A = this chain, B = another copy of it.
Amino acid sequence: MSPQSSLASKDSIKVGIIGLSIGSGVRFVPPWAYVAHYPALAKIPEKYQISSILNSTLSSAEAAVNNLSLNTTKPFDSLDKFAQYESNDLVTVSVRVPLHKQLLLPNIESNKNIFSEWPLGASTNEAESILKLVKEKDLKTVIGLQKRKAPAILKIKELISSNKIGRITSVSLSAVSELGGPTRAESLSSYIFESKNGANFFTIPFGHTLDGLLYAVGKKVKSVKANVLTLYKEQQLVDLDSKLVGKVVSKDTVDHISIAGLLTDNTPITIEFRGGSSSRVGNRNLHVEIHGTKGDILYESDSAFSELAPIDLSYSYEGSDGVVKFDNGKDYNATVDNVLGLYESYYEYKDTQGSRQGFEKDGFPTFEDSVILHRLLDRIVESSNTGKEIDVKDIYEF
């Protein structure tokens, strides 16, 4: 069933997507909009119609329209015309981060509500400037921090907010991702290994994971002491079989984050987020423990990119039936369904206006939530660079 099915109602939201291409070729890595946004929207055709697609070429936009049988979707290659297209209620941008601002500006000017992939900007300044513009226009925004919609994260939030594990006494996160390791799949673009682009080991797997964890715990960060390191300044290219191809490429993005932090109420949080191969022994690629006075929570994943991989949650508390393993649901597809959760929530709250989600269970993260995370990441780097504990209490203020 395509989003253009007969289920579309007058209430449905018309979404224009920037960056929904279908691509081709042996080494083709399908874009995120194709992997996540399109299938998410296709699941709720009664709520969303894809009204338009803007790609860098008209042929690419037309190919997507034709290939996906989006019969009522208008293809664009002109940003200005796309921005002025009256059928777009909401504009989703899912392209390289440094392009976000220039692509969003005309759409903001045209009073479109915006769903932007995380990170919002290639820098915090850029994200703040985008936020300022949407606030001036009083637009609704969604930021693609979709881990907040993972069923396991929502379950943890429920366990904690209902006091099942009592007062939280410690939070720890350890993770490893090959993105920051000694080798690089040759199919990967160098884009995510150049820090100026803002989309990298630090902002993406670490940023999503930190956001999801803090959201689940429901506590603001008070201060951080951190080491943010670049241990690998070069990577060896490997082929699809992980064999070295004999080529070394440079990398200036960080690959190791170690944090001793405090949440509000002085709850300690300890983080090791490292680059490298999956460990042959020891914890899985993502391992998070949350301990409370009455219970304990463990969540794990095979991927540090836990915003798009299934999370295995287990917990136990005073009065629970031993150790409970949470069921994500047999049809759960983390890649699609977390993004789906954002669209569902945006639809549910389409007639109300909120500047940020914060730690609320309902609703969806906004550009304000995005800027908070941008600021937090900056403070973590600042602690590393200055050798000082950095107070972050003010990142929540606008």
Contacts and interface: CB of A to CB of B under 8 A. Distances in A.
Contacts of A316: 280-281
Which of A170, A295, A388 is packed against the most chain B CB atoms within 10 Å? A170
A28 B272 CA distance: 42
B280 A323 contact: yes
Contacts of A174: 172, 174, 270, 289
A389 B225 contact: yes
A225 B386 CA distance: 11
A270 B229 CA distance: 13
Given A225-B226, A227-B262, A256-B170, A291 B279 contact: yes
Contacts of A227: 225, 260-262, 268
A369 interface: no
Given A225-B227, A227-B225, A293 B260 contact: no
Interface size, A (range): 35 or more
A140 interface: no
A266 B389 contact: no
Binding site secondary structure of chain A: strand
A236 to B, nearest CB: 11
A231 interface: yes
B256 A280 contact: no
Nearest to A259: B260
Interface in A259-282: 259-262, 266, 268-272, 274, 276, 279-282
A298 interface: yes
A258 interface: yes
Contact of A268 (B172, B229, B262, B283): B229
B272 A170 contact: yes
A255 to B, nearest CB: 9
A270 B272 contact: yes
A315 interface: yes
A31 interface: no
Contacts of A272: 170, 172, 268, 270
B270 A387 contact: no
Nearest to A295: B280
Interface string A279-322: 11111000101010101111000000000000000111100000
A317 B291 CA distance: 32
Contact of A260 (B226, B287, B291, B296): B226
A118 to B, nearest CB: 25
A182 interface: yes
A225 B260 contact: yes
A357 interface: no
Interface in A367-398: 383, 387-389
A380 to B, nearest CB: 10
Given A387-B388, A387-B389, A274 B225 contact: no
A111 interface: no
A170 B276 contact: yes
A178 to B, nearest CB: 13
B281 A274 contact: no
A84 interface: no
Given A169-B231, A279-B289, 6 more contacts: A227-B260, A227-B268, A231-B268, A256-B268, A258-B261, A281-B296
